Amino acid sequence: MIKNKLKRGFTLVETLIALGIFAMFMSILIGSYSGIVRSLKEANDYRVMYSDARRVFDTVVREFREGMVDYGNDNYFGICNPTSLNGGKSEVYLISKDGGFTAKIFREELNDSTSGIEKKHGVIKISKGKKGDVQNAIILNSPEVNVKNFQIFAYPHLDPYDKKNVFKDAYQFQPFVLVKATFEKEKFNGEMFNVSFETAISSRIYNQVYKPNDSLTTCK
C-alpha cells in the first residue's frame, strides 16, 4: 500500500509576515543599541568636561586657601601700585602670609588649528615662582575643553590690610573670592555644549604680614 503524504511549507504570505516581524524586531534592537551608544558617548563628553572643570577649580581653590589676593601692595617686588579689584578679573596674583609671591592665575586664548580651522581656545594657566614670569605657566584644562568667561571677584575689592583702609568699616571683613567660569566642549556629533560653574573661597589668612619695605610704610 502506497501512502501519500501531504507535505506543506510556509506560504508566501506567511514568509512575508515573518520577515516583517523580524525586520521590526531588528529595527527596535538596533535603535535601542544606537541610543545606548549615543548616551554613552554623551556621558563620556560630560565626564571629560566635568573632569577638566574639577581640575581647574580644585587647583584654584587650593591656591586661594594657601595664599591671598595680591592687591598690589607688594613693594617687595619693586612695585607699589595698590589696586582696586572691583568687578570680575581674568587674572589675579596671589601672595603668601609673609608677603612672598605664591602664584598667578589667569586665562589666555591660544590659537587652535588641530581641526584645520583656525580658532581661539581659552585655557586657564597658573604660574609659580618669579612674579610676571609666565613662560613656564602650566595649563590646567585639556585641549578638548574651551574655557570661556573666566572671572574672579575679590571681596573686599580694596586691601583690608592696607593702612589706609583699616579704619574703613566697608572693607573690614574676612576676604573671600568668587570664581566663575564657563566650560565648552564639542560633542561627538559636532554640537557644542557648555556648563557654567562657580565657587566661593574664604581666605584662611586673617592678618596679612607684608615685607619690611612694603606699601604700608613706603607707598603713598
Residue type, position 183, single letter: F
Neighbour-count burial of 36, counting CB atoms closer than 10 A to its CB (0-12 exposed, 13-18 middle, 19+ buried): exposed
Q: Give the pairing type, strands 68-69 and 119-127.
A: unpaired
172 vs 158: CA distance, rounded Å = 10
Give the pLDDT of residue 48: 84
pTM equals: 0.69
The pLDDT value given to residue 124: 93
Q: What is the mean pLDDT of each run of 10 residues along the chain (220 residues)?
A: 57 79 80 75 84 90 84 50 69 77 86 65 86 77 89 83 77 83 86 88 67 43
